[in-house]
Amino acid sequence: MGHILGDSIPLSVCFGLTIVSNLVVYQISLTFLVFGVRDNVHPHQSFHSWDNVQSITTHGDEGIHNYHLAYNHSFGFFDNIPHHKWIQDYRQPVLEKLAAVSRHSPINDSSSFDDVSKWLYENMDPLFVCPHVRKVGNPAGKWMCDPERWVRVFARRQTTPHDKSDPHTNSRSLLSSLNNNGELPCLVYSIGSKGNFRWEEEFVKIIGDQWCEIHIFDPSPTHESATELQQHPNWHYHAWGLRGTQSTKNYTRRRDSFFDFVTIRKKLGHENRVIDILKMDCEGCEWESMPDWLFSDQYPASYRFPDLRHILLETHSLPHPTDIRAAGNFGRLLPMPEVAFLEEAFAQRRYVLYAKEVNTHQGLGRSVEWGFIRLHKEFFGDQF
How far, in Å, CA of 64 to CA of 129, rounded? 22
344 and 318 Cβ atoms separated by less than 8 Å: no
Sign of CA dihedral 119, 332, 345, 294: negative
Burial 183-198 (b: 16+ CB within 10 A, else e): ebbbbbbbbbbeebbb
- C-alpha dist (Å) from residue 237 to 91, 228, 229: 38, 11, 8
> Whole-model pTM?
0.76
Q: How many CA atoms lie within 13 A of 45 on its CB side?
A: 8
Q: Give the closest residue to 208 by CA, choosing from 160, 153, 151.
A: 151
212 and 186 Cβ atoms separated by less than 8 Å: yes
Please tell me the predicted confidence (pLDDT) of residue 57.
42
Specify which residues 134 forms β-bridges with: 144
In order along its 384 residues, the chain shows pLDDT tens digits of 443 333 444 434 343 434 334 433 333 333 322 323 333 333 333 333 333 344 344 444 444 568 999 999 999 999 999 999 999 999 999 999 888 765 545 555 555 555 777 778 877 889 999 999 999 998 779 999 999 999 999 999 887 654 333 333 333 343 333 444 678 999 999 999 888 899 999 999 999 999 999 999 998 877 777 788 888 999 999 999 998 887 766 665 565 688 989 999 999 999 989 999 999 998 778 888 888 888 766 677 777 788 999 999 998 877 665 554 444 444 344 444 444 467 777 888 899 999 999 887 766 778 899 999 999 999 998 876
How far, in Å, CA of 159 to CA of 50, rounded? 9
- C-alpha dist (Å) from residue 285 to 157, 238, 318: 32, 16, 12
Q: Give the closest residue to 107 by CA, choosing from 254, 268, 315.
A: 315
3 state SS of 40: coil
**Beta strands at 142-145 and 133-136: parallel, antiparallel or unpaired:** antiparallel
Task: Check residue 60 and give left, alpha or beta (phi > 0: left; psi -120 to 50: alpha).
Answer: left
Task: Check residue 208 and give left, alpha or beta (phi > 0: left; psi -120 to 50: alpha).
Answer: left
237 and 199 Cβ atoms separated by less than 8 Å: no
- Domain map of the chain by residue range? 1-39, 87-380
Q: Max CA-CA distance within the chain?
A: 103
